[in-house]
Amino acid sequence: MNPQEAKDWIKSIASDDIQEPKNFEEQALKFIGKDLYESFFKGYTKKQWGCEPSSLPASILKRLPIRFNYDDNYFSHKYQGMPRDGYTYLVQNILSHENIAIKLTTKFDALLKNEFDHIIWTGKLDEWFDYKKGHLGYRTLDFIKFEAEGDFQGTAVMNYGNEEVPFTRISEHKHFTPWEEHHRTIYFKEYSRACTEKDIPYYPIRLVDDKKILDEYIKLARDERGVTFAGRLATYRYMDMDVTIREALDLSKKMLKDIVQGKLIESFYHQEGIS
């Protein structure tokens, strides 16, 4: 098929009786039809999120593009890149500033906010409020490391859509930096599961049924003084990392501008994407 023929074919198999998709599954059926949805999305989604796709919001799928060319990049951005010396070096340079103090293995308590002029909270939204309105759902990830000679899979990331394969994807990191040469390789199998109190939360689930609890926390967050809620966990939104970093940079510029102008830093809860 040429691009136009492919577009016409997708249109012919997509479900046209769903006008306003209410969840992930309906969005997929409207997007690409039943056969492609079940072949590429259904199994992977159940593994990734640990629930039926019909329980997830449609917004999760809306962020993925359908392309009619040979571009196999995840993003359609004009400029894409990786830090030349890696993210570890980049973060080390940020944290090495003389005005930054780091405290590891130190649990933060909301009562400590009285000791600081302002707090940027990037932890779980419900944790800040001591779960007073109930628990929101989060997922965590397990990474199993493997080493091999040469090249294992020929690409940085390979997704496994079949439900019977227990892991969601394999990442082979040397392919992220093609300007380097490595004779050996390291790759990780990635497993998704429900996040417990002892786990590191990676991203919010945003189940359709969580909306009532989420709305209660959003009201509390907007009334909280002296605190800025930022990032995936604190605003309870599933965002790609480029969007997360963009928001962090914009927020930093705004706060620094307020400080220079002698203004009191306003509390902030990002509203975009909350539905």
User: Which residues have a catalytic role annotated?
Assistant: 63, 67, 139, 169, 190, 238, 240
Count of CA atoms in the C-beta half-sphere (13 A) of 200: 5
Interior CA angle at 96 toward 94 and 264, to 5°?
Answer: 65
Q: Tell me, what DSSP letter sits at residue 66?
A: P
Signed CA dihedral, 9, 14, 19, 24: sign only: negative
Residue type, 114: N
Q: Where are the beta strands (DSSP E) in the chain?
A: 119-121, 138-149, 157-159, 169-172, 184-194, 203-204, 227-229, 268-269
Residue 254 CB partners (closer than 8 Å, separation 6+) = none
Query: Distance between CA atoms of 222 and 101, rounded to whole angstroms?
Result: 28
Interior CA angle at 243 toward 157 and 108, to 5°?
Answer: 100
The two structure tokens encoding residue 148: 């091999």
Residue type, 41: F
Terminal CA-CA length for the chain: 38
